[in-house]
Amino acid sequence: MQANEFNKRRQRLMQDIGVGNIALIGSAMPRTRNRDVDYPFRQDSDFFYLTGFNEADALAVFVPGREEGEYILFCREFDPTKALWEGAHAGLEGATKHYAADQAFPIEDVPERLPELLAGKRKVFYPLGHDADLDASVLEWLKELRQKARSGVSAPHELSALEQILHEMRLFKSAAELKLMRHAAEVSAQGHIKAMQTCKAGRYEYQVEAELVYHFMQAGLRAVAYPSIVAGGKNACTLHYTTNDCELQDGDLLLIDAGAECDHYAADITRTFPVSGRFSDAQRQLYQLVLDAQYAAIAEVKPGATWIQPHEAAVEVLTRGLVKLGLLKGSVKKLVKDEKYKAFYMHRTGHWLGMDVHDVGDYKIDDTWRTLEPGMVLTVEPGLYIPADCKKVDPQWRGIGIRIEDDVLVTEDGHEVLTHSAPKTIAEIEAIMQGA
């Protein structure tokens, strides 16, 4: 992503927080996996959104109107020994030269310099409650400043959650962000096709997962956006199943919920298909019902619609279909009102998508479902899950779990399905799996 994109975000943030105030945000920190081995580093999404800086041990400070520079970055100084063992890092010179900080100081200087930057400000914006160490430090700095009141030094009198501003910014995707999301979506879609092509009875779920990850990495996307769900048979009825260690059985369905991450932006796709390459009659009926529900939900993604409308459309179609198939009995309207469909469909039809797979942004404003606007990206993912031990339904339905999920952009005149390349009709899936 171009440096100008990050600069635009910082300028908008500083315009929103206003002259006379200050904002702070810290980087992610390394996390220990075991003993002296860390998990692969992944930068905090909010921090990266504003800085593009992909290192730990950093603190970004934004001071609108400050003559010496509005954007200050505290980070690690360049260490030749560290570079030898762990690789290149920016250092103070790189922070200004490559990441456009107006000033850069060693991270060790934070305790000394932050009280000076806070002095005279009215309000401090930072991620309240996100980092216990930062919470404690801010309170200590404010205490230090208040002790200097007789010397004419004033301390900020208000703390405010930075997320209120920042997450509203992140909810609306720019052209640069959408370019990354489209790439993540396309690579992920092709990975799902590879999974369909290589799936067969006798393979293990983790082997299919390996096909996905292999394709993502071959395409240059080295991180998955979230732990992949590869759930054969009744495992698909566990919504967040990630064990992925069972053998695939002929006659079962395989549900895959997996997406790649492109430069911190996620794709999120779910496809469900038959291990044997052909749907059984019962699988076909349930699958088509879920697909019809998804089509109905996607049709509701447009400017002016509310967040809940796609979900309501999916629920209506699913409930009507469940009654027709005999899995529910009664009036569709009353079944929906009483939420009886939740026996087989217990989650919402989507979520915001962006730098985080369950991305930031309010779903309601003043207790009213939010209106969809151009630039928002959401998933649309209805499903049906019939537990294997559900005695109240005909045995032919038991143990079937189906979900179909796409990533959808709200456009000026409707919507764009970013993940359109991932096949989802019965005819398309069966043709791919049979090598047509």
Catalytic residues: 36, 240, 257, 268, 347, 351, 358, 381, 385, 403, 405
Q: What single-letter amino acid sits at 132?
A: A
Cβ atoms of residues 250 and 280 within 8 Å: no
Distance CA 266, CA 352 (A): 11
The two tokens of residue 349 are 């039809």
3-state secondary structure string across the chain: CCHHHHHHHHHHHHHHHCCCCEEEEECCCCCEEECCEECCCCCCHHHHHHHCCCCCCCEEEECCCCCCCCEEEEECCCCHHHHHHHCCCCHHHHHHHCCCCCEEEEHHHHHHHHHHHHCCCCEEEECCCCCHHHHHHHHHHHHHHHCCHHHCCCCCCEEEECHHHHHHHHHCCCHHHHHHHHHHHHHHHHHHHHHHHHCCCCCEHHHHHHHHHHHHHHCCCCEECCCCEEEEHHHHHCCCCCCCCCECCCCCEEEEEECEEECCEECCEEEEEECCCCCCHHHHHHHHHHHHHHHHHHHCCCCCCECCHHHHHHHHHHHHHHHHHCCCCCCHHHHHHCCHHHHCCCCCCCCECCCCCCCCCCCEECCEECECCCCCEEEECCEEEECCCCCCCCHHHCCEEEECEEEEEEECCEEEECCCCCCCCHHHHHHHHCCC
